[in-house]
Structures are given as structure tokens and as C-alpha cells.
């Protein structure tokens, strides 16, 4: 199993463990773990399908993998990117420290966690190596870091 698949499963297991132990807490941390599950799946998928590493930072991944990016180095299905971006956005919000009312933040995170779960399920339909039939392998191209 690839390094990225291992990391992806680690993050999902972590999320599941927190969910089991603390079903009504730590929604923000669970969202971040689900996003990291997705990001490692994305990296694995891009390496396997296109022979490309899509970057170390979130911004680099947007430039390299977003189907609408002028500098993209992979040709992801737009639906796959939309699910990834929804998870990225949820994770960004989970790490946002500007909410003045913690109770509202936690209530929002509970809803976002449920949405993130659904988004990850949909994302996996694209990202699972055995099920990824929509894209063709391409030759490696230059990368953006």
C-alpha cells in the first residue's frame, strides 16, 4: 500500500476513533482529519493516474489540480475536485479562530462534520484506485511546488 493510502487510512481511523469515544465533541478536529484523509487520497490518485505530485501546500494543490487552474498538471474530473474543495473549505473553517461565539462555532462544526462525511463518501467514488475509470493516464509534466 502506498504511503499516501496509509496516511489517508490513518486519518480516517483517527476520526472514527474520536467519533466513537466522543460522539458529541471535537467536530472541528474530526473535519480536519476527514480532509487529510481526502488530501492523501488525492495525492495517491494523482501519482497513480497521472504520475504527478500535486504539491505540498493547499495553494499549490489548487494551482496544480483544480480543473479550472491555468497551470494544472492533472486532469481531474470536475466532480472529484468539487468534493475535495468542499472538504478543504470545511477544514479551513474548522481551523478558523475568528468566531466570537464558541457555542455557534461548535453547532456549525457539527453540521459541517456531517456534510464533510458525505463529501468524503462522494470523493472516494472518484479517488478509490480500483474505481477510478473516468481518467486516463498521462505523461508526467512540470510541477508547481
Interacting residues toward another protein by CB under 8 A: 59, 62-63, 66, 68-70, 82, 85-86, 89, 92-93, 96-101, 104, 107-108, 111-112, 115, 118-119, 122
Give 108 or 135: the residue with its C-beta nearer to another protein. Answer: 108
Shortest reach from residue 65's CB to another protein, in Å: 11
Shortest reach from residue 63's CB to another protein, in Å: 7
Question: Among 77, 10, 78, which Cα is nearest to 41's?
Answer: 10
**Per-residue DSSP letter, 27:** H
The C-alpha atoms of residue 108 and residue 129 are separated, in whole angstroms, by 33
Shortest reach from residue 43's CB to another protein, in Å: 19
Give 48 or 82: the residue with its C-beta nearer to another protein. Answer: 82
Question: Among 130, 114, 128, 127, which Cα is nearest to 34's?
Answer: 114
Give 99 or 129: the residue with its C-beta nearer to another protein. Answer: 99
Cell of 113: 462534520
Shortest reach from residue 115's CB to another protein, in Å: 8
Contacts of 64 (CB under 8 A, 6+ apart): 52, 54, 55, 71, 72, 73, 74, 143, 144
Give 2 or 121: the residue with its C-beta nearer to another protein. Answer: 121
Amino acid at each position: 500500500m502506498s504511503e499516501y493510502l496509509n496516511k489517508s487510512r490513518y486519518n480516517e481511523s483517527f476520526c472514527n476513533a474520536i467519533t466513537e469515544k466522543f460522539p458529541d465533541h471535537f467536530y472541528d478536529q474530526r473535519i480536519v482529519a476527514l480532509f487529510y484523509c481526502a488530501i492523501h487520497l488525492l495525492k495517491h490518485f494523482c501519482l497513480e493516474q497521472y504520475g504527478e505530485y500535486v504539491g505540498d501546500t493547499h495553494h499549490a494543490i489548487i494551482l496544480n489540480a483544480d480543473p479550472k487552474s491555468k497551470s494544472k498538471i492533472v486532469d481531474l474530473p470536475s466532480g472529484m475536485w468539487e468534493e475535495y474543495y468542499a472538504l478543504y473549505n470545511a477544514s479551513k473553517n474548522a481551523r478558523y479562530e475568528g468566531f466570537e461565539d464558541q457555542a455557534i462555532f461548535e453547532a456549525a462544526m457539527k453540521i459541517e462534520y456531517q456534510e464533510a462525511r458525505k463529501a468524503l463518501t462522494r470523493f472516494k467514488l472518484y479517488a478509490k484506485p480500483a474505481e477510478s475509470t473516468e481518467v486516463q493516464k498521462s505523461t508526467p509534466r512540470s510541477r508547481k511546488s
